[in-house]
Homo-oligomer: A and B are copies of this chain.
């Protein structure tokens, strides 16, 4: 039987506020067994861009990443946010290791082709090599994954953190029984956006289609659930969408095939 591994993805809003970051790190550190943390950092990137006079341009929630913006996200995701989390986890006795996709060459991606929109230095995941990563996890190391990949030709690429979490969870499911949790600021997928009590406890592929058709699921939740189903199809055992302070197995919305 495979050992269990919990991949937890937290968004920028959680990791950029010192109080919520501290709560998240404590909850994450308390999780037993093998684990991986994946983080965002978009708000901090936007703030640094503003301070440097660089315009942040977003299309469908994706950041257009020109040369200057790539420098910003490399500094914020790979440096500021990632290393703060790593140092914070070390203080809690968690042997964290911060990684971009270039580190250990663990996640290779392709620069998104220029179509109607030129996203710039944005990467779509091509391949995940978990050999060294899985061994490190087996030795008690907790990888902390920044939303950056590389093209194998010397370029870093900006890659959505939900996608990184899904791709890493899928690849790691070769060696581990993987549970994937997406944390965000709400208690789960809500039937009524204004009512935190309206969490939908379970979404299947069939009910997902109905929810999209009815307009209950929209915006950023669509790619998030798309990533969830991709992960499940590829062997991940369970996907869960919940609040960062509710990491137990029954909280929030559980997504199944």
Give chain A's interface residues, CB within 8 Å of chain B. Answer: 48, 51-52, 71, 74-80, 82-84, 86-88, 90-91, 95-100, 102-105, 132, 136, 139, 141, 148, 150, 152-156
Q: How far is the CA of A80 from the CA of B69 in the complex (A)?
A: 12
State how many copies of this chain the complex holds: 2
Identify the closest chain B residue to A48 (Cβ).
B75
Knowing A90-B105, A104-B141 are in contact, say whether A78-B82 is a contact too (CB < 8 A): yes
| Measured CA separation A103–B152 after assembly (Å) | 23
A153: chain B residues at CB < 8 Å are 91
Q: How far is the CB of A189 from chain B (nearest CB, A)?
A: 33
| A48 contacts across to B, CB distance below 8 A | 75
Contact pick for A79, options B76, B96, B97, B132, CB 8 Å: B76
**Cβ B74 vs Cβ A100 within 8 A:** no
With A74-B79, A76-B79 given, is the CB distance from A155 to B87 under 8 Å?
A: yes
Main secondary structure of the interface of A (DSSP, over half): helix
**Quick check: A150 and B87 within 8 Å, CB to CB?**
yes
Q: Which of B79, B132, B136, B152 contacts A77 (CB 8 A)?
A: B79
Give A2 Cβ to nearest chain B Cβ, in Å.
23
Q: Which residue of B lies closest to A95 (CB)?
A: B105
User: Is A100 in contact with B98, judged by CB distance below 8 angstroms?
Assistant: yes
